[in-house]
């Protein structure tokens, strides 16, 4: 348990140092940096590629959705276009939206070359797809009332505190394993978790950083709360994050996507997209 807790804290400190930068003010929006600038991936030759068709959905805002004019928009749409520009194949690129249940079949039938829709890279899905590296991960975070928000190291400072979490979730398992000195209070619904935090019936809430960020930036939170400590990355509980899926027999395309994603990150384009769609950063 001590080793697990130390690993979690180290992961938190690492991602925090990468995202924040030395001496940065914690209150400013932060951008996750998941690429090693010292690793230079080879630029692919895609001259023989006839086209690159990205498949996505319309029902996963802010990643992919139809805007007020019916135009396909979102984080994934901007990212796909940036990938095409980075690979120098804008004229060969297309983005098509399908129902979620049809994505895998469309890729298998050759109706697209890649899926950018949040398919989880798991041991099972890796038998079906060749994935790019992760371009966005979802850390666990604590949120607390603004005047009481704690800073790292949180383990000792949370001792005896009442911490709310969604019952049966990966975050509950993670909270019990890594922060075993807190009083765990479980809730079936996020609405009840937030209401109890606002009412002061619990000292903190623990859960998905992205969902917390949307709540913190919304009208329901009414500026009551803020992130405390973290972020915490724990793939064994939370998965490896978002990646782009290509057919399993096309690892060369996955490698080309890695090159483009790294360049997009290093040039600051990813940061621009991230802050556009996630103004309350969950890192």
| 73-100 tens-digit pLDDT | 999 999 999 999 999 999 999 999 999 9
Average pLDDT for runs of 10 along the chain of length 283: 44 40 43 90 91 96 95 98 97 96 96 94 92 96 96 94 98 97 98 98 98 96 95 93 96 96 96 95 94
Closest C-alpha among 183, 188, 139 to residue 166? 188
Question: Are 141 and 230 within 8 A, CB to CB?
Answer: yes
- Same topology, domains 2-30+138-238 and 52-136+240-277? Answer is yes
What pairs with residue 72 in β-bridges? 66
Question: In this structure, what token pair is assigned to residue 21?
Answer: 């930068």
Alpha carbon distance 65, 18 (integer Å): 30
Residue ranges covered by each domain of the chain: 2-30+138-238, 52-136+240-277
18-25 own/partner pairs: CB under 8 Å, 24+ apart: 19/231, 19/281, 19/283
Helix residue ranges per DSSP H, 95-148: 103-108
Question: Are 62 and 278 within 8 A, CB to CB?
Answer: yes
| Residue carrying structure tokens 């939170």 | 221
DSSP, collapsed to helix, strand or coil, labels residue 28 as: coil
Superfamily of domain 2-30+138-238: Periplasmic binding protein-like II (3.40.190.10)
Closest C-alpha among 59, 69, 54, 71 to residue 99? 59
**Could you tell me the fold of the domain covering 52-136+240-277?**
D-Maltodextrin-Binding Protein; domain 2 (3.40.190)
pTM of the predicted model as reported, rounded to 2 decimal places: 0.86
Alpha carbon distance 81, 74 (integer Å): 11
For 33, 118, 211, the CA distances from 11, given in Å and listed in that order, are: 13, 23, 20
């Amino acid at each position: 348990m001590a080793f697990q807790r130390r690993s979690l804290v180290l992961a938190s400190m690492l991602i925090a140092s990468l995202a924040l930068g030395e001496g940065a003010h914690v209150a400013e929006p932060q951008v996750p940096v998941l690429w090693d600038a010292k690793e230079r991936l080879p630029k692919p030759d895609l001259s023989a590629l006839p086209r690159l068709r990205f498949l996505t959905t319309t029902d996963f805002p802010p990643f992919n959705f139809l805007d007020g004019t019916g135009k396909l928009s979102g984080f994934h749409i901007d990212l796909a276009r940036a990938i095409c520009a980075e690979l120098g194949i804008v004229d060969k690129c297309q983005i098509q939206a399908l129902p979620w249940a049809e994505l895998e079949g469309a890729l298998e039938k050759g109706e697209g070359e890649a899926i950018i829709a949040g398919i989880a890279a798991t041991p099972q899905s890796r038998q079906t797809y060749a994935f790019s590296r992760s371009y966005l991960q979802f850390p666990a975070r604590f949120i607390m009332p603004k005047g009481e928000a704690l800073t790292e190291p949180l383990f000792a400072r949370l001792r005896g505190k009442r911490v709310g979490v969604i019952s049966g979730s990966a975050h509950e398992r993670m909270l019990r394993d890594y922060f075993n000195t807190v009083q765990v209070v479980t809730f079936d619904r996020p609405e009840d978790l937030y209401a109890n935090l606002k009412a002061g019936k619990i000292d903190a809430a623990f859960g998905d950083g992205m969902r917390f960020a949307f709540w913190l930036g919304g009208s329901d939170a009414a500026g009551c709360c803020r992130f405390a400590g973290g972020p915490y990355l724990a793939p064994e509980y939370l998965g490896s994050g978002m990646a782009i899926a290509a057919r399993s027999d096309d690892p060369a395309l996955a490698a080309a996507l890695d090159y483009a994603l790294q360049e997009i990150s290093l040039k600051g384009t990813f940061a621009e997209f991230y802050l556009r769609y996630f103004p309350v950063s969950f890192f």
